[in-house]
């Protein structure tokens, strides 16, 4: 049933309460059961399917990357990468002048190596 209410982009745009109301009284479907079903749906491919917002879609995609063992999921800070990307997305939605084109995620040590490379490049060019 949840798959039937996804929009063309794979987003779930209706609240779970509205979806539960679509079932007959005999079916006895409640919001908690739909929430469990949604979690199962969100574990399917493609990553991000069943998201209720762009930020949730990004978070689901990051979790899929993490589950696949990719080191790119961790940011240099000690916060959840989903929170970081959600903050960037919120900022960009509220500021039309936002020029964020992409986000580079570095594993610990990766940022230090990149910074070292940039320092050596600048030092060689400056003198």
Most confident of 18-22, 90-94, 97-101, 112-116: 18-22
**Cα distance from N-terminal residue to C-terminal residue, the chain:** 65
pTM of the model: 0.52
Q: Are 41 and 50 in contact (CB under 8 A)?
A: yes
For the segment 25-82, what is each residue's pLDDT rounded down to a tens digit? Answer: 778 888 999 999 999 999 998 889 999 998 889 888 888 877 665 444 444 445 666 7
For 120, counting Cβ atoms within 10 Å of its Cβ (0-12 exposed, 13-18 middle, 19+ buried), the class is exposed
CA angle, 80 as apex, 74 and 86 as ends, to 5°? Answer: 110
Could you tell me the residue ranges of all domains in the chain?
A: 1-52, 71-127
Residue 109 or 98, more confident: 98
CA-CA-CA-CA dihedral for 9, 37, 4, 22, to nearest 10: -130
Length of the chain: 127
Per-residue pLDDT band at 104 (split at 50, 70, 90):
low
Q: In this predicted structure, what is the pLDDT of residue 84?
A: 73
């Amino acid at each position: 049933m949840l798959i039937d209410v996804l929009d063309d982009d794979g987003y779930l745009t209706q609240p779970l309460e509205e979806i539960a109301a679509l079932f007959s009284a005999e079916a006895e479907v409640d919001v908690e059961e739909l929430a469990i079903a949604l979690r199962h749906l969100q574990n399917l491919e493609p990553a991000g399917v069943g998201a209720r917002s762009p930020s949730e879609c990004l978070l689901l995609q990051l979790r899929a990357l993490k589950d696949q063992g990719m080191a790119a999921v961790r940011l240099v800070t000690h916060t959840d990468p989903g929170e970081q990307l959600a903050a960037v997305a919120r900022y960009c939605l509220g500021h039309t002048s936002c020029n964020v084109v992409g986000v580079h995620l570095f594993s610990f040590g990766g940022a230090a190596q990149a910074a070292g490379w940039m320092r050596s490049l600048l030092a060689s060019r400056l003198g």
